[in-house]
Amino acid sequence: MKVRFWGVRGSIPSPITPDEIRRKIASVVQRVRPEDLESPTNRERFLASLPPWLFGTYGGNSACIEARLDDNSCIILDAGSGIRELAAAVARETRPVTEFHVFVTHFHYDHLQGLPFFTPGYNPSTRITFYSPIEGFDQIILDHMKPPYFPVTMRDTMGSSCRFVLLENEPVRIGSGVVSWRRHKHPGGAVAYRVSEGDRAFIFSTDTELEESDFQKTEENSAFFGGVELIILDAQYTLGEAIDKYDWGHSSFSLGVDFVTAWNIDRMYMYHHDPLYDDRRLYKNLQSARWYARNLGNTELEVYLSEEGLEVEL
Ligand SMILES: [Zn+2]
Ligand SMILES: [Zn+2]
């Protein structure tokens, strides 16, 4: 399967600012030497030598992850503003998929606000199935899109395309894959999802304030966190911020490293980037997380920043 990152920001979409673009350009101009401009090869080499926070951006859209299974089933995890980019990419496919399975972690704006711009939903031949373990969630989703907050209602414009499935404790089968879920600590509640296909699996665990019970090696936890190749994990805060913002429902990247170390997961993608942080600051947090993992003696762990447009093959 392919895991695609369409929205990686937390709390609110946070597009790159004009000032940040100016600073990036100024910084590139200061680094360039005359010989870097001499030939197309030199120019390419120069661009490739720039640090990732400078040449590009980690992205500004809010939460949306896609798992495209080997049989082309399309699983969408959260419908933040990144889902608009997902829709545009689907429209460019030779044979665009028309069936979508949308799993919602919870209903905060940053995880739902892209839905009115999910253009396939306006096509009556599209089928969208929403999943959540929250009783009455169909009303929550249908009611979030209506005047005066949006010009049209979801019921009138997308209603015929939508179906709602209340998740029970058992995992649900989607095409060639299986999705299971687990509750975690977040104001108002939220869930993590585990998507597996064959012997490959990953977890999407955003908006979680990691706590003692997440580390416990119970049968239930082991079934969820065990045997996973990759986790996309809430790592919004530094340790200091996590202490200041206790009970806000997010985790520090260092506790995230402790957590993936405890569960023996080899790859961690820091997620739900704070709207206050620019690309340079996010990269600094990444370096701190990598330093912390090495200091912990976990030399196997690969830590990355979630980045809009990134595609990972599992
Ligand atoms: Zn959020
Ligand atoms: Zn939230």
The Å distance, Cα 26 to ligand 2 centre, comes to 36
Q: Is residue 282 part of a domain?
A: yes
Residues 44 and 131 in one domain: no
Q: Is residue 55 part of a domain?
A: no
Residues 150 and 288 in one domain: yes
Collapsing DSSP to helix, strand or coil, 70 comes out as coil
Say what the pLDDT of residue 128 is. Answer: 98
Residues 66 and 205 in one domain: yes
Average pLDDT over residues 101-126: 97
The Å distance, Cα 206 to ligand 2 centre, comes to 8
The Å distance, Cα 163 to ligand 2 centre, comes to 24
HSE toward the beta carbon, residue 65, CA cutoff 13 A: 30
The Å distance, Cα 47 to ligand 1 centre, comes to 33
The Å distance, Cα 4 to ligand 2 centre, comes to 21
The Å distance, Cα 111 to ligand 1 centre, comes to 6
The Å distance, Cα 46 to ligand 1 centre, comes to 37
> Which ligand approaches the C-alpha of residue 12 most closely?
1
Q: What is the pLDDT of residues 184-214, one digit of tens each?
A: 999 999 999 999 999 999 999 999 999 999 9
Residues 26 and 7 in one domain: no
Judged against a pLDDT cut of 90, whether residue 159 lies above it is answered with no
Residues 25 and 115 in one domain: no
Q: Are 144 and 107 in contact (CB under 8 A)?
A: yes
The enclosing domain of 193 has a CATH number of 3.60.15.10
Burial 118-146 (b: 16+ CB within 10 A, else e): bebbeeeebbbbbbbbbeebbebbbebbe
The Å distance, Cα 297 to ligand 1 centre, comes to 31
Judged against a pLDDT cut of 90, whether residue 157 lies above it is answered with yes
The Å distance, Cα 82 to ligand 1 centre, comes to 13
The Å distance, Cα 44 to ligand 2 centre, comes to 41
**What domain range is 45 assigned to?**
18-49
Q: What is the pLDDT of residues 244-293, one digit of tens each?
A: 999 999 999 999 999 999 999 999 999 999 999 999 999 999 999 999 99
Q: Are 175 and 201 in contact (CB under 8 A)?
A: no
> Which ligand approaches the C-alpha of residue 236 most closely?
1
Residues 133 and 42 in one domain: no
- Among left, alpha and beta (phi > 0; psi -120 to 50; other), residue 151 is alpha
Judged against a pLDDT cut of 90, whether residue 160 lies above it is answered with no
Give the number of residues written for the chain: 314
Residues 133 and 250 in one domain: yes
- In degrees rounded to 5, what are phi and psi of residue 48? -70, -20
Q: What is the pLDDT of residues 60-112, one digit of tens each?
A: 999 999 999 999 999 999 999 999 999 999 999 999 999 999 999 999 999 99
Q: Is residue 57 part of a domain?
A: no
The Å distance, Cα 10 to ligand 1 centre, comes to 5
Residues 226 and 136 in one domain: yes
Provide the domain count of the chain: 2
The Å distance, Cα 207 to ligand 2 centre, comes to 5
The Å distance, Cα 62 to ligand 1 centre, comes to 8
Residues 190 and 81 in one domain: yes
Neighbours of ion ligand 2 (CB under 5 A): 108, 207
The Å distance, Cα 30 to ligand 1 centre, comes to 37
Residues 79 and 223 in one domain: yes
Residues 42 and 140 in one domain: no
The Å distance, Cα 206 to ligand 1 centre, comes to 7
The Å distance, Cα 11 to ligand 1 centre, comes to 5
